[in-house]
Amino acid sequence: MSIANVAVIGAGTMGQGIAQLFAQHGYTTWIHDVRDGAAEQARQRIAQALDKRVTKGRMTTEDAATALSRVNVANSLGDLAEADLVVEAVVEDLDVKRALFAELEGLCRADTLLCTNTSSLSVTEIAAELHTPQRFAGLHFFNPATAMKLVEVVSTDATTHNTRRALHDFARTLGKTPVDVSDSPGFIVNRCARPFYSEALWLLEHGTTSAATIDVCLKSGGGFPLGPFELIDLVGLDISLRATETVWRAFDHHPRFRPSPLVADKVATGQLGRKSGAGFYHYGDDHDEELSPLAPPGVTSVEEVIAHLPDDLAQRCQVSDGRTAAEMAKERGQATIVFDTLLRPWPNDRPATLAFASHGLDAVSREKLVEAAAGQGVRLVEIADRAGLVVLRVAAMLVNEARFALDEGIASADDMDTAMRLGLNFALGPWKMLERLGTERIRTTLERAAEEDGSGRYVPAAS
């Protein structure tokens, strides 16, 4: 079908961003909000956002004026009767959304596509009382909608192929990459990213190392743009806690989604992250000060680090395969050093930090090891002896959750990788991580982690 006139219901941050995106890409756009004046205020904020783009040289004055001329305020839902597509971005309340779509179904043309931008509610439940659910789907944009490249197209059992295809085509005209998702709690990104936060929190809860060390190890060894604790602080601990609780409830309180008491405790005391001045970090302070890095490394892999160590140290070293240093030391009959793994080679334009654990290593050898690695530009940080250490352990849980999602038919492996790269700016999606690490290392890490925590958190997926 041809889409020319589009509508956005809800003039909050997401609704405003989605409306601006539509207008910038040539669509006649209507904004409606039940709050008096909210839609007009959103239009004014869009004008300011477009002016900023002009100032930054991202669009011309003429293009900004043309885009703004496409943005119209709808005073009532009746003004949207001729829309080709309607996107709802109102409060995350099931009853409110159901009532809204019931009214839209009676007002809009029979071929109008009806979409929800929900991130936490069931698309199937929102559509449960519609007479024409075949034209209904989730169209989940990411914040900020004008910048993030991913759109999750979420189907229910009733959503037709033609509806999905039309939404894919529409998303591409916006410069977005659409991925197909079957309706399931958290869709792809909000579900499959949970282990990035939850496993880091488990490590912190159990005294493995500090939040700053976990963050810097994952950025250095995993290629993640931000560490999990930086991300939680950026999003807000209260928002992160609500999202985790929503997914946890949706999966019948499965232990792998258990909310962390560390987050709940901080929320209870008003430590909400950047917006409150404190969360896992205290803002205004240099939270990386304790991890002052060296110059960029002269090596690209852990194997190179080991190869350049003195022989008496090198023979005791191994890259993590999921087993602890204590287990390896017992097997080898000597002091053992286990280094964390890398998901991609270290770049030569930024510092490298690498976690390690040891068993039976004397203080002199430990000091010699740290100095030898520093000579190669790699900062070593010793942590508690845990299965998989940091990068491998977090990656194993990301892979495991992706396997659960694949087993459930939520999305294809390729779409999961695309979603995680574009929705969270991960360097690698979980399936590419599996390709790099291998099935055996993932299996061993989950098995050994289960020995540390018997809650059922580390039960492997069937695939």
Q: Is 152 a catalytic residue?
A: yes
Q: Which of 117, 122, 155, 190 is catalytic?
A: 190
Known active-site residue 25: no
* Residue among 152, 199, 230, 401 flagged as catalytic: 152
Of 117, 119, 240, 260, catalytic:
119
Q: Is 119 a catalytic residue?
A: yes
Select which of 140, 184, 199, 230 is catalytic.
140
Beta-strand pair 177-182/352-359: unpaired
- Asked if 276 is an active-site residue, the reply is no
Task: Please give the positions annotated as active site.
Answer: 119, 140, 152, 190
